[in-house]
Amino acid sequence: MNFIRVFAAICGIILVLLALQDGFETIILPRRVSRKFRLARLFYTFMWSLWSLPARKWHPGNRREYYLGYFGPLSLILLLILWAWLLVLGFACLQWGMDSPLGTLDHNTGFGTYLYMSGTTFITLGLGDVVPLSGAGRGFVIIEAGTGFAFLALVIGYVPVIYQAFSHRESNISLLDARAGSPPSASALLLRHQHSIPDEVIAYLHEWEHWSAELLENVISYPVLAYYRSQHMSQSWLGALTTVLDVCALILAGVENIPTKPAKFTFAIARHAAVDLAQILNVAPLKMPDRLPTEDFAHLHSMLVAAGFMVGDTEATEKRLKQLRGMYEPFVQGLAQYLLTPLPRWISVPGQVDDWQTSAWDHFLESSPHTLDRAIRGD
């Protein structure tokens, strides 16, 4: 073998090992890989930068969300195609580099013929018009065919698991709609539970403690889930996570009639998820404009007091809250800018309507969903 064929064989081995290692780490290995050079990471960094480029010039709205919603599922398909192509190309380079003799109908044994044989072998098409004649060539054909079968089995098992994790994530986010608004806010969540505190709030925070842990575990195992958008424009996993952190921070800062220990546990895992997800997606923390300036905090403080919450001194509570916000806001703000996902407000917009109240069929009803509270009271 000459130098070029030796180099091609070595490159073929590298391509096959690279694709197999990256597929194993992405699909099977249930832990975060800290190595900076990863094929899947480079793929998503490049593809998201390219895909999100036009969306960054659009105003937030349905059109941008609809466009960005395609990226998650489409990128998954493209990543699987990339792995398959690298394996086919790698085995073709290996066979061509070894100068494996071939039996062909047209007696053409160029690199294109090796690539064709590798492709038909990998997908187990097996037309038989190109066959290896040496023992080593036949051995690599068997190995490639087995790799193709294993790859197909992994894909069949991988895609349903991703969608199951996505569905479970979204069900909790949808439940947040009626409890915290659309988009959600910390003030809305507390005010809508003002007559059921503290027991219901504690139970609800406990549920979101589990949700945050599952979110972290799922994205570590399947990073593509971070790019899957929610079905409603006003909902997102980042918005839900930020709302939970806001509520916990507010309770820890000075809401005295809600126990702090459950809020502390939920805050810890939710903050852990925000920091680790930023690291997984290689997103640096950012210092953006203050999400809760002093005048907004004063308004939030008066709203909570008027609703019956026991909130501490305004200045001291605001100081503690600012310290707690500094532990997570730079990370969620970095993620929000990277993923083009708006962060929730601390105080809901007056007159804001929840998603469950905005069905296109509601105009056929005699009673509007907006009148639910009045109907319950008998007004």
Question: What's the average model confidence in pLDDT over 101-117?
Answer: 87
44-73 pLDDT per residue, tens: 999 999 999 999 999 888 889 999 999 999
**Is 169 domain-assigned?**
no
pLDDT surpasses 50 at 375: no
pLDDT surpasses 80 at 265: yes
Q: Are residues 186 and 310 in the same domain?
A: yes
Q: Are residues 95 and 209 in the same domain?
A: no
Domain span holding position 73: 3-156
Please indicate whether residue 374 or residue 289 has the higher confidence score (pLDDT).
Answer: 289
Please indicate whether residue 31 or residue 22 has the higher confidence score (pLDDT).
Answer: 22
Q: Which residue has the tokens 């013929």?
A: 113
Domain end point (choices 98, 121, 156): 156
Please report, for residues 60, 176, 258, 359, the alpha-carbon distance to residue 199 in angstroms, rounded to integers and kept in the order given. Answer: 37, 17, 8, 32
pLDDT-based confidence at residue 332 (cuts at 50, 70, 90) = very high
Q: Are residues 198 and 138 in the same domain?
A: no
**Which stretches within 56-198 are classed as H helix?**
62-69, 71-97, 111-122, 135-180, 186-191
Question: What's the average model confidence in pLDDT over 149-178?
Answer: 87
pLDDT-based confidence at residue 242 (cuts at 50, 70, 90) = very high
**Is 353 domain-assigned?**
no
| pLDDT for res 196 | 65
Strand pairing category for 130-132 and 102-104: antiparallel
pLDDT-based confidence at residue 287 (cuts at 50, 70, 90) = confident
Please indicate whether residue 228 or residue 287 has the higher confidence score (pLDDT).
Answer: 228
pLDDT-based confidence at residue 25 (cuts at 50, 70, 90) = confident
- Among residues 52, 42, 53, which one has the least CA distance to residue 72? 52
Q: Are residues 128 and 27 in the same domain?
A: yes
Q: Are residues 150 and 210 in the same domain?
A: no
The phi, psi pair for 350, rounded to 5°, reads -55, 135
pLDDT surpasses 90 at 288: no
**Is 254 domain-assigned?**
yes
Q: Are residues 146 and 201 in the same domain?
A: no
* Crossing angle of helices 39-55 and 3-23, rounded to 10°: 70
pLDDT-based confidence at residue 1 (cuts at 50, 70, 90) = low
pTM, two decimal places: 0.85
Name the strand (E) or helix (H) holding 33. none
Residues pairing with 104 in the sheet: 130
Q: How far apart are CA 85 and CA 78, in angstroms?
A: 10
pLDDT surpasses 80 at 362: no
CATH number of the domain within which 28 lies: 1.10.287.70
Return mean pLDDT, the chain.
87
Q: Are residues 337 and 201 in the same domain?
A: yes
**Is 172 domain-assigned?**
no
Q: Are residues 142 and 187 in the same domain?
A: no
| pLDDT for res 367 | 57
Q: How far apart are CA 70 and CA 38, in angstroms?
A: 23
Hey, what are 301's tokens?
Answer: 């403080």
| pLDDT for res 366 | 56
Question: What's the average model confidence in pLDDT over 108-117?
Answer: 89
**Is 163 domain-assigned?**
no
Phi-psi region of 313 (alpha: psi -120 to 50; beta: other; left: phi over 0): beta
- How many domains is the chain built from? 2
| pLDDT for res 309 | 85
Q: How far apart are CA 132 and CA 95, in angstroms?
A: 9
Q: Express as a percent the part of the chain with pLDDT over 90.
A: 45
